[in-house]
Amino acid sequence: MAIQYREWREGDDLTLLQIWGDPETVQAGQFRGTLAPSSNAPWRRCIVAEDVVDGVGIPVAAGVVHEAALHPERLWVYVEVARDHRRSGIGSTLLMMLRREAEGSPSGITRLRCKVEPGTPGAAFAEAAGLTAIQRSQLVVVEPGALKLPVFGDGSEEAASERIEDLATGSVELSDVVGRYYTSVHGWDSPGDLGIPTVQRLFLDELSGAHGAIVLRAPKASAFGAGVPASKKGKLQAFAISYAQPGTEHDESGQPSDVFLGHEPELNTDEAQAAVRDLLALIAYQYPVLMELDDSMTALRAVVEPLMEEGRARRQGAETFVVSD
């Protein structure tokens, strides 16, 4: 077996897909989409390994390293080798070459990260390469009626309407809380500067798939102190953004709605858990809800993990680990 390495060329994706077959994990399927010709804007370096047979090189493996606008403190890296060419040093050589390319990244960032599923060849390769887990993530489905509906104030519709509100996804107030929450639960891999326009583009506009948001507010407050009737809207405590397509989120198939659920990061532990619990109870009252749950989302974990233990929520698919050097 004679292996030679070269830059990625147009058409390599079709050849490699035939040799690799179906992706072994969800992450592999996603990362395959990042294999593309090297470029400087955005910065990416992609290398292909060929098995030379009778003077003809046949692509059998590829690797890519690239910068990311979101979470810019590390570079994404991905390596895949055909099953019948593994354990021959090709993957390690590709990773070594990509590390060398990373030393020339415009940002000066050289640390690498990737996503793997435990118990897979990719996870074993990452461990052997010295990449260790920095975060665990899982998709969780909360079943309908898993939580008892909250009672607001005197239990009247008016009291509930003061606390629960459908909010436009273009809301600056919503964008502010979403951005600060996302930053607060990603201290392990900073997302960088998330201004309002960036938050709206990544999480809230039509291209992101967002089409609705519901928020939980604190009780109304008086703008003039005690003794004066409350008239000012309460501050936003928690939010739920739906990414299901309009008209299909509750179809007869029973597929859960994809939801991003979070809270005002300045709430204390008990307040954050209560806010998340109340809003989750509302959005999952009649229909199942699908959420991404990271270990760093402590308030959401405190609410959802007991439901999983009781069988009222379940993990969908395998866990995912973000690994880094």
Q: What is the pLDDT of residues 281-303, one digit of tens each?
A: 999 999 999 999 999 999 999 99
Percent of the residues in the chain that have a pLDDT greater than 70, as a whole number: 94
Distance in angstroms (rounded) separating the CA atoms of residues 103 and 178? 34
CA distance from start to end of the chain:
31
pLDDT value for 248: 46
Distance in angstroms (rounded) separating the CA atoms of residues 274 and 45? 46
| H/E segment holding residue 229 | none
- Mean pLDDT of the region 133-142: 97
**How does DSSP classify residue 194?**
-
**How does DSSP classify residue 84?**
G
Interstrand relation of 212-217 and 39-40 (parallel, antiparallel or unpaired): unpaired
Write the pLDDT tens digit of every residue in 70-108.
Answer: 999 999 999 999 999 999 999 999 999 999 999 999 999
Distance in angstroms (rounded) separating the CA atoms of residues 144 and 149? 11
CA distances from 63 to 69, 82, 166, 252 (A): 20, 12, 44, 42
Write the pLDDT tens digit of every residue in 170-180.
Answer: 999 999 999 99
Write the pLDDT tens digit of every residue in 36-69.
Answer: 999 999 999 999 999 998 889 999 999 999 999 8
Task: Note the CATH number of domain 139-318.
Answer: 3.40.630
**How does DSSP classify residue 221?**
B
pLDDT value for 225: 53
pLDDT value for 255: 85
Which of the pair, 204 or 254, is modelled with greater confidence?
204
**How does DSSP classify residue 232?**
B
Confidence of residue 1 (pLDDT cuts 50, 70, 90): confident
pLDDT value for 220: 83
Chain Cα centroid distance, residue 191: 12
pLDDT value for 244: 67
Output phi, psi for 292, to 5 deg.
Answer: -90, 130
* pLDDT for residue 237 is more than 80: yes
Contact 124, 117 (CB under 8 A): no
CATH class of 2-130: alpha beta
pLDDT value for 180: 97
In this prediction the pTM is 0.89
Q: Which residue intervals of the chain bear CATH 3.40.630.30?
A: 2-130
Confidence of residue 249 (pLDDT cuts 50, 70, 90): very low
Average pLDDT, the chain: 93
Confidence of residue 224 (pLDDT cuts 50, 70, 90): very low
Query: Residue 216's beta-bridge partner residues?
Result: 164, 238
